[in-house]
Amino acid sequence: MGKGSLFAPQALAGGFIGIDDGIGLNMTPLLDLPEPDFRAEVRSRLETANPSASRGTLSQYATTLWRVAQGIQVDDQVLSPTGTPGQVRLGRVTGEYHYVPGEPLPHRRSVT
């Protein structure tokens, strides 16, 4: 929900969970790749955009992006921070991965 749950109120009001990759990477063309290939391609693109980032950071980001795009399934339950320390909300995923360019947390899944 962004650093310090900065965008949690917007996500709650908009009915979504999401993350940012920091470079505006539209992953939609990569969704048909097997998980290892998806993660390797995302990691490579992130590394090109962030050459000083550690391998661990890049791998963690690639894994998290895969989970949002492919790992989470419709009807899964998710916990999301509210922006208030120690508080989370329980939601149910209601939609497939979608990319919203130019918006905070552009990698999204709809939730109720």
Closest CA to 8 of 72, 65, 80: 80
Distance in angstroms (rounded) separating the CA atoms of residues 22 and 3: 12
| pLDDT tens-digit map of 4-54 | 788 988 999 999 999 998 888 898 999 999 999 999 999 999 999 999 999
Query: How far is residue 22's CA from residue 20's CA, in Å, rounded to a whole number?
Result: 6
pTM score, whole prediction:
0.89
User: Using an 8 Å Cβ cutoff, are 107 and 13 in contact?
Assistant: no
Number of domains in the chain: 1
Structural domain including 17 reads 3-110
Span 88-112, pLDDT tens digits:
999 999 999 999 999 999 999 999 9
